[in-house]
């Protein structure tokens, strides 16, 4: 997820796009850049001027002293790295070899490697490690054939598969801005004698409240006096103008009252982004990040060790069950802060999987270093490119959650679980652990998860009704068996983090070994029942709680009704493959935690005593 801005009009264009970009800082970034296509002069066209720098926006601004009053058409970008580290060459905008075209991009180009190889054969030179640079060279190649920028941009995009929002400027057509969108957000701001482009509404609010929200497949030609919208094939489109009535703080959150709620609703797209380019048309998983590991090398890993903290640890618990079922080898999951002091049994026969959203978690980084000292091979699951953990790992599988602002993790957690599922299926495929038909069915069912999460979010009113009943309760228990126990741990943590209520999670069978003594009238017990082979056992636990006047909430698949008589409230979720239920079952619990905390007037995005990235022991 990146910040994109663009401007066509009479204002100083660099000052305008950088000011707009500053209002997107909440999106997170690791580098920034700006490109200006100056207006034609008597001497003829010149190159597009590009200035970019690794680091925060302030680093770029320090290099723009001679550019603030530039006139022309400008685009600017803050990058959240996906392909290639956070370096100046990898920063956007990227530009053509002749310096006449510049382009910025948000998204992932799935077929960039094959396109890059083809362009190199045609004589194009690459200066970055990004997938984006392919796009600008494709546009340049098409322009050489067509002699027209609009035709060239359309032709380039027809060769691309993946997700993108792009903006293009050129000295071939210096008073026109070209933009297109699939999947990643992009909006146009409408002015008088000027027009604007951005990836989110806050960038525009100082300049205009009139916006057009582009939809997937839209192609825009923007000049100072007009905006033309068509499909990629050229069919005219009409998009309804939207008048922004939010204040700037609400606009940053996309109209949501809190970043947490916004990020919960971003989860279907985050899942789809994490799967994108990693699932083939033949329903197999291909992780190019792991192509350095041969089949023989993978066979030497007789043990798998997962190390993480907090929410990431719960993702690791899901992975343990999944890996052991598919790979039939022992998997250990340890809290990072305990692992490094426990004289761990890891060595050259161990694949150590390190999970961290930020890639800077101090305890996890220390555990990584200990495992590496002992000879283990380190594979990290991380959301932030170029972070400390990625630099010290032998390989990294990136999630594609994008920046997560709320301290309590939601979409980062779901994408960690998704990435671990991909890893398990990749290893199972390489090692031929499953029948090919069964493996394809696992992969096929995985691709259905974004829609299943979308369906849960569509039932949010049911969770609102439940939250209204539970907001004044003081004690919560979360119970589950197997995969459901991992979900119970994460659900309890979410409630604790943002509502400050007492919440505990237990394997359901452990309740009668002590915790059942705490159940009485007024105590809420949330019971997960998504695993068919364990449901009868789970039903007994529901009845044990109900018999002691606990308020039972059951979370079950939509086709399961056996809990109806034992629970006071039943939340139904889409029926998915049981191994994938953790992805779906946690979503109503995220909503429940959010709504209870909101009803209690808590500071949801920044709960007391907590930080987003824990960089101290």
Total number of domains in the chain: 3
Measured distance CA(428)–CA(423) in Å, rounded: 9
Residue where the block lists tokens 């409630």: 495
Q: Are residues 215 and 293 in the same domain?
A: no
Instruction: Kindly list the averaged pLDDT for each block of 10 residues, start to end, along the chain of length 617.
Output: 90 96 77 87 72 92 92 92 84 95 92 95 95 96 96 96 92 95 88 94 90 92 96 93 78 86 95 93 91 85 95 98 95 94 92 93 93 96 86 93 89 97 95 91 97 96 93 95 97 96 93 85 93 92 85 94 90 97 98 96 90 61
135 and 211 assigned to the same domain:
yes
What is the domain-level CATH number for residue 126? 3.60.20.10
Torsional sign, CA 460, 466, 469, 475: negative
Q: Are residues 278 and 222 part of one domain?
A: no
Q: Is 615 a domain residue?
A: no
What pLDDT score does 205 carry? 87
The answer to whether residues 439 and 467 belong to one domain is no
Residue 421: the pLDDT is: 98
Determine, yes or no, domain membership for 617: no
Note whether residue 579 is domain-resident.
Answer: yes
Sequence-ordered list of residues with C-beta below 8 angstroms from that of 432, at least 6 positions apart, any chain: none
372 belongs to a structural domain? yes
**Cβ(52)–Cβ(82) under 8 Å?**
no
Domain termination residue (choose one: 447, 466, 482): 447
Structural domain ending residue among the three candidates 217, 252, 287:
252
Here the CATH number for the domain that contains residue 368 is 3.40.50.10490
Domain identity same for 394 and 520:
no
309 is an active site residue? no
Sheet with 162-170, side-by-side order of all strands = 94-95, 101-109, 162-170, 177-182, 218-222, 227-231
Is residue 616 in some structural domain? no
Whole domain around residue 148: which residue ranges? 3-252
**One domain, residues 428 and 492:** no
Q: Are residues 391 and 533 in the same domain?
A: no
**Sign of the alpha-carbon dihedral angle for 53, 54, 55, 57:** positive
* 284, part of any domain: yes
Residue 609 placed within a domain: no
Environment class of 32 (CB within 10 Å of its CB; exposed 0-12, middle 13-18, buried 19+): buried
What is the chain's percent helix, strand, coil content, to nearest 5? 40, 20, 40
Helix (H) and strand (E) counts in the chain: 20, 24
Tell me: do 214 and 296 sit in the same domain.
no
23 and 157 part of one domain: yes
pLDDT of residue 5: 97
Answer for the pair 261, 215: CB distance below 8 angstroms, yes or no.
Answer: no
Boundary (domain end) residue, out of 252, 273, 306:
252
**135, 156 Cβ separation under 8 angstroms:** yes
Does residue 551 sit in the same domain as residue 442?
no
Catalytic residue among 2, 13, 406, 527: 2
- Could you tell me if 244 and 380 lie in one domain? no
70, 209, 537, 612: the catalytic one is 612
Verify that 323 and 441 share a domain, yes or no.
yes
612 is catalytic: yes
Phi and psi angles of residue 147, each rounded to the nearest 5 degrees, phi first: 70, 15
Is 560 within the bounds of a domain? Answer: yes
């Amino acid at each position: 997820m990146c910040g994109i801005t663009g401007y066509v009009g009479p204002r100083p264009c660099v000052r305008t796009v950088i000011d707009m970009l500053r209002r997107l800082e909440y999106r997170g970034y690791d580098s920034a850049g700006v490109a200006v296509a100056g207006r034609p002069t008597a001497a003829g066209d010149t190159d597009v001027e590009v200035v970019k720098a690794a680091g925060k926006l302030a680093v770029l601004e320090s290099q723009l002293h001679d550019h603030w009053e530039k006139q022309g058409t400008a685009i600017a970008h803050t990058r959240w790295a996906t392909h290639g580290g956070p370096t100046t060459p990898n920063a956007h905008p990227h530009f053509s070899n002749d310096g006449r075209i510049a382009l910025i991009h948000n998204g992932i180009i799935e077929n960039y490697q094959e396109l890059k190889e083809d362009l190199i054969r045609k004589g194009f030179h690459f200066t970055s490690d990004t997938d984006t640079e392919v796009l600008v060279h494709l546009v340049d190649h098409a322009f050489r054939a067509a002699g027209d920028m609009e035709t060239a941009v359309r032709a380039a995009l027809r060769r691309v598969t993946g997700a993108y929002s792009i903006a293009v400027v050129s000295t071939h057509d210096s008073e026109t801005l070209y933009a297109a969108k699939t999947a990643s957000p992009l909006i146009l701001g409408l002015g008088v004698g000027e027009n604007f482009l951005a990836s989110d509404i806050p960038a525009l609010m100082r300049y205009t409240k009139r916006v057009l929200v582009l939809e997937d497949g839209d192609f825009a030609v923007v000049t100072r006096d007009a905006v033309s919208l068509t499909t990629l094939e050229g069919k005219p489109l009409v998009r309804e103008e939207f008048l922004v009535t939010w204040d700037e703080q609400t606009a940053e959150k996309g109209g949501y009252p809190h970043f947490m709620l916004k990020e919960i609703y971003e989860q279907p797209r985050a899942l789809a982004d994490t799967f994108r380019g990693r699932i083939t048309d033949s329903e197999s998983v291909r992780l190019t990040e792991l192509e350095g590991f041969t089949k023989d090398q993978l066979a030497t890993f007789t043990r798998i060790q997962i190390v993480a903290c907090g929410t990431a640890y719960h993702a690791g618990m899901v992975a343990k069950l999944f890996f052991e079922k598919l790979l039939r080898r022992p998997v250990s999951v340890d809290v990072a802060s305990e692992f490094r002091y426990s004289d761990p049994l890891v060595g050259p026969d161990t694949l150590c999987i390190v999970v961290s959203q930020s890639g800077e978690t101090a305890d996890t980084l220390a555990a990584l270093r200990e495992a590496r000292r002992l000879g283990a091979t380190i594979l990290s699951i991380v959301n932030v490119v170029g972070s400390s953990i990625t630099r010290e790992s032998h390989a990294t599988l990136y999630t594609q959650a994008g920046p997560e602002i709320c301290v309590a993790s939601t979409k980062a957690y779901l994408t960690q679980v998704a990435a671990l599922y991909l890893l398990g299926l990749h290893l199972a495929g390489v090692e031929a652990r499953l029948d090919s038909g069964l493996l394809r069915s696992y992969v096929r069912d995985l691709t259905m998860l974004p829609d299943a999460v979308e369906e849960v979010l569509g039932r949010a009113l049911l969770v609102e009704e439940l939250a209204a009943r539970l907001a004044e309760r003081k004690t919560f228990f979360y119970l589950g068996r197997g995969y459901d126990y991992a979900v119970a741990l994460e659900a309890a943590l979410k409630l604790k983090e943002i509502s400050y209520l007492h919440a505990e999670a237990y394997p359901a069978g452990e309740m009668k070994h002590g915790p059942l003594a705490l159940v009485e009238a007024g105590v809420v017990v949330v019971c997960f029942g998504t695993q068919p082979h364990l449901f009868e056992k789970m039903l007994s636990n529901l009845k044990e709680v109900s018999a002691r006047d606990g308020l039972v909430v059951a979370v079950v698949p939509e086709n399961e009704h056996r809990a109806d008589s034992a629970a006071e409230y039943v939340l139904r979720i889409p029926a998915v493959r049981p191994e994938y239920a953790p992805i779906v079952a946690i979503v109503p619990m995220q909503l429940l935690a959010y709504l209870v905390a909101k009803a209690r007037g808590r500071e949801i995005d920044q709960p007391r005593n907590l930080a987003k990235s824990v960089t101290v022991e």
